Amino acid sequence: MVLFIPGFMQRGDAWRPVAELLPERYPSTMLDHSEHSFEGRLREIEQSGADVLVGYSLGGRLALRAALRSPQSYGAVVLVGSTAGIDEGPLRVARAEADEKLASWMEAMPIEDIVGLWERQPLFADQPDALVEAQRPGRLSQDPRSLALLLRTAGQGVLEPVWHDLRSLELPLLAIAGTRDDGYTRAAKRIASTAPNGRLAVVEEAGHAPQLQQPDEVARLISEFLDAALQP
């Protein structure tokens, strides 16, 4: 089974445009988290019974750490718009401080204000209005306190980088990024070149969310990768 893991402010069905395109030989499920801490979400992944993990952004960071924690449990991992962490100490400290400020602000604000701020991030600037609006109901369904907890326990500033551990991960791994997402394209290239069985795919005409902007292409990339990684 393929487990699709959503990003920070997403529900599981944000993966539907890709999950529905996978061939029948790869049954899938979209994880809709009920836990909102790092360890809680890792438990949900570990208890899913999945053979393949596919994660976007935060979901990718979780998928990678689940695979590193229990590599014998999985057959392959796909990361979309993700990274193995911030390995520069001062940058990680600065990110942790910024995330703590954001988490404190989230706890005091209505979800509408939080979503408004989230949607205005430069990271999503290349997404058309219709795509942003389509994601809004899922974002508005989030609880501010749960988001704050998740940011404090699974944000990039508090998670230790796992670049060194990645060198010993023998699982087939596919790192996907959009061409318009420079930072995460660099991260995907580094992941693919660091993991012993890593592969890279860069999606044209896409930014930080290629699975939403080019779902047909991302589904094709995942299917072809799994054919090569899992078929005898």
Report the mean per-residue pLDDT for the chain: 97
pLDDT tens-place string over residues 51-110: 999 999 999 999 999 999 999 999 999 999 999 999 999 999 999 999 999 999 999 999
With a cut of 90, say whether residue 146 has pLDDT above it. Answer: yes
Alpha-carbon distance 165 to 159, whole Å? 13
pLDDT of residue 231: 77
41 three-state secondary structure? helix
Region 168-177 average pLDDT: 98
pLDDT of residue 151: 97
Task: List Cα–Cα distances, 218 to 99, 186, 193, 203, 223, in angstroms.
Answer: 30, 18, 20, 8, 9
CB 63 within 8 Å of CB 5 = yes
Is the pTM of the predicted complex or chain greater than 0.85?
A: yes
Two tokens, residue 220 = 């094709």
Region 118-143 average pLDDT: 95
pLDDT of residue 232: 65
Which of 44, 79, 54 lies closest to 1 in space, CA to CA? 54
Task: List Cα–Cα distances, 88 to 91, 93, 197, in angstroms.
Answer: 5, 9, 25
Q: What percent of the chain has pLDDT over 90?
A: 99
Alpha-carbon distance 91 to 97, whole Å? 10
Beta strands in the chain (DSSP E): 2-5, 28-30, 52-56, 76-80, 173-178, 198-203
Residue carrying structure tokens 């899992």: 230
**One-letter identity of residue 139:** R
Which of 139, 12, 171, 227 lies closest to 3 in space, CA to CA? 12
Region 137-145 average pLDDT: 97
Which of 172, 209, 211 lies closest to 191 in space, CA to CA? 172
DSSP secondary structure letters along 79-121: EES--S---SHHHHHHHHHHHHHHHHHHHHS-HHHHHHHHHT-
